[in-house]
Structure formats: C-alpha cells, structure tokens
Amino acid sequence: MTPTYDEIVKAPKALLHDHLDGGLRPATIVELAAEIGHELPATDPAELGEWFVSAADSGSLERYLETFSHTVAVMQTAPALRRVARECALDLAADGVVYAEVRYAPEQHLTAGLTLPEVVEAVLAGFAEGSEQAAAAGSPIRIGTLLTAMRHAARSMEIAELSTAYRDAGVVGFDIAGAEAGYPPTRHLDAFEYLQRENFHFTIHAGEAFGLPSIWQALQWCGADRLGHGVRIVDDIEPGTGKLGRLAGYVRDKRVPLELCPSSNVQTGAAASIAEHPIGLLRDLRFRVTVNTDNRLMSGTSMSREMALLVEAFGWGWAELQWFTINAMKSAFIPFDERLTIINEVIKPAYAKLL
C-alpha cells in the first residue's frame, strides 16, 4: 500500500538536518520585521513564503544562501530567537517528527548586541517551551541543537567551545555551513581537533556544491561523524556497474550517515530533479541514507512532504520510510540508550502497524 501524505504525517519521523534560520513561519517573519523596521520583499505571508521558494530556486548554493539575510535579520533579540525556536518545535511536532536536530549559527545573531551565550540560551529556552507545548498537545518531540560555524568566517574555534560549554544543556553537536567552494573544511581543523579531544560529535556540510575532495577532507582530515548532504559521493560510484571507488567504499563500509536533503539539492542544482536524485542509487547500494528538510521555508517543505515526494518518485513504501527513520535515529548525536528507546518504543511499534 502506497503511503499517502496524510498517513506519513501521522507516522513518527526523525530529522537530523534542519536549519533554524531556514524554517521560520512567513507570518512570523512579517511580524518581527515590522517590529524592527526591516524591509522585506513581500509583506503578505503567503506571498513572502512564495518569494523565499522562488528566490532559493536559483541553481546555485551562493544565491540560495542570499535569502537567509531576511531570516537572520529578524532573529537578533532574545525574544525573537525564543519565539522562532518555540514555533520550530511546534511545527516539527505537528508534522509528526519525534526527534530532530536543529542547527543555526550563533555568530550570525549578534548584530543587536546579544552575546554568544545569550543567543544559545534564548534558542534552548524556545525549544524547551515548544517541546512542552507539543507534548501537552499530544505530539511529543525531542529536540537536540547543533551549533554551526560559518565556513567563510574565522570563529569556528569559539563556536566549538560554545558547543561543549552547553553540551549538558541541549547542544548535542557542531557543524560548519555556508558557501562550500573555496572554503574547505580543513580551514577549521583546530576546531575539529578540539572537539575530538572533547569526545564531542560533529557533522560537516560537504559534497553539496563541491565534490569528492570536500567529502574526503571532512572525513579523513577533520574526522566528521556524519556528512551534511554528502550527495556528491555518487561521483565516486561507477555509473552502470555501481562499483565503488575507495572513498565511496569507505563511506559505505564505515556506515557514515548521509544527511540527504532532496528538495534543497534540486534548488541549488546538486540534483536535476527528485526522481533523478542520487538517493535512489545510494539507498539501493545500502549507504546509511537519511532524509532531511534542510530549510523548510526556502524549500516550502516539511519532513512529511520530503518523504511523500520520494514515495512518488521512487515507488517506496513503509518499509523504506521506516528504514530512513531508523537510520536517522541510529545516527543521532544523543546517547545510545536514548536512541534505542525512541527506536524500540516509538518508531518500531508505529511502523509495525503500517507495514
């Protein structure tokens, strides 16, 4: 039986790659922008939502990223950050996401005078509030935060230290993001070495707008636990035969989680369409594939919508959707026992009724 969108919403899902500043409600952007006098390309929420999707639909990661200037601009005070985080938790929970890791770059939220710890605390408070409200409404969600450093900037060591400072308060990992070409992950080697010495977890955006050298550096120089996107690992797979090169073989053998984001990849030109997205091949070859939203606002999407698009394009059913969900949960940055509890007590019983 083909899962429908409405059924997918009700099934438990796990999400590892979602940007806080890429998931705001358009109506919230309009209200926050009015408060601070920030000029927007549209002030009607529906129109603004459409503007984000079409502006991000640019075929280039650099132009896609330009749209974030409007979301980041309205996320500069503690109440604004708290509200955005609370609404993020509520929206994900309403979509049936039971576990999410949400990331953002604290260094981008300092223009109105907040300190880095104040930014982190406002977001954590918002997630806590949203999660409480979601549980009370009957859709419990667990949210872990990842702190991102911007790869073109030079604050990664500071952000890495900020991550470990808040590791017992809800920050579960670290990441680097931003334009990939010209900014290799090895620029931030000191931060990654620090995190390894601290027994902390990190993922790296790699293999999205740039290919194999970026993935190779992220894994073999920097020691990333997971790959943000990593979709260009297909460049190391022989077309037709499916023969793996050494790097692709390593990624599969070591079960390196790939945080794939189908709609986002189509918008930035990393994939021609959902149907031609390498997720089909990577799943057939049994890589550790996960499905993610990246930026719900810029892609006009949700976790359920991404899964529904894959069901439509590849003819997948509940077995595949469960596999993606368990892959994500296995790859999460929270402790093993907590991951297992969610798999055994939430995910498996729900899918057992659907399969």
Ligand X SMILES: O=c1[nH]cnc2c1ncn2[C@@H]1O[C@H](CO)[C@@H](O)[C@H]1O
Query: Which of residues 222 and 244 has its CB atom nearest to ligand X in the complex?
Result: 222
Smallest separation, CB 126 to ligand X (Å):
15
User: DSSP character for 107?
Assistant: G
Torsion of CA 146, 152, 157, 160, to 10 degrees: 0
Query: Which of residues 43 and 69 has its CB atom nearest to Zn ion in the complex?
Result: 69
The whole-angstrom separation of Cα 236 and Cα 211 is 9
Query: Which of residues 40 and 227 has its CB atom nearest to Zn ion in the complex?
Result: 227
- Tokens read off for 3: 């899962």
Quickly count: other Cβ atoms within 10 Å of residue 131's Cβ: 23
Query: Which of residues 131 and 203 has its CB atom nearest to Zn ion in the complex?
Result: 203
The whole-angstrom separation of Cα 263 and Cα 274 is 7
Catalog residues that contact ligand X under the rule CB under 6 A. 19, 21-22, 61, 65, 68, 72, 103-105, 108, 148, 177-178, 205, 208, 264, 294-295
The whole-angstrom separation of Cα 19 and Cα 105 is 9
Residues contacting residue 161 through CB under 8 Å, at least 6 positions apart: 194
- What order of strands is seen across the sheet that includes strand 97-104? 13-19, 97-104, 142-150, 171-177
The answer to whether the beta carbons of residues 21 and 68 sit under 8 Å apart is yes
Which residue among 180, 294, 306, 320 contacts Zn ion (CB under 5 A)? 294
Is 70 annotated for ligand binding?
Answer: no
Smallest separation, CB 35 to Zn ion (Å):
28
Is 205 annotated for ligand binding?
Answer: yes
- Tokens read off for 80: 């604004």
Query: Which of residues 292 and 327 has its CB atom nearest to Zn ion in the complex?
Result: 292
The whole-angstrom separation of Cα 218 and Cα 289 is 17
Stretch near Zn ion under the rule CB under 5 A, chosen from 4-12, 74-82, 287-295, 327-335: 287-295
Distance of CA 342 to the CA centre of its chain: 19
Residue with the closest Cβ to ligand X?
177
Is 175 annotated for ligand binding?
Answer: no
Strand-pairing partners, residue 102, are 18, 145
Catalytic residue flag (residue 208) = yes
208 binds, among Zn ion, ligand X, none (CB under 5 to 8 A by kind): ligand X
Residues contacting residue 212 through CB under 8 Å, at least 6 positions apart: 232, 233, 235, 236, 247
Is 249 annotated for ligand binding?
Answer: no
Query: Which of residues 21 and 236 has its CB atom nearest to ligand X in the complex?
Result: 21
Quickly count: other Cβ atoms within 10 Å of residue 343's Cβ: 18
Smallest separation, CB 312 to ligand X (Å):
23
Options 208, 259, 306, 320, the catalytic residue: 208
Smallest separation, CB 321 to ligand X (Å):
23
The whole-angstrom separation of Cα 236 and Cα 103 is 28
The whole-angstrom separation of Cα 54 and Cα 64 is 10
Distance of CA 14 to the CA centre of its chain: 11
Is 277 annotated for ligand binding?
Answer: no
Is 17 annotated for ligand binding?
Answer: yes
The answer to whether the beta carbons of residues 203 and 19 sit under 8 Å apart is no
Q: Which residues are catalytic?
A: 208
Binding residues for substrate: 19, 21, 178
Binding residues: 17, 19, 21, 178, 205, 294
Question: Under the rule (CB under 5 A), what is the footprint of Zn ion?
Answer: 294
Binding residues for Zn(2+): 17, 19, 205, 294
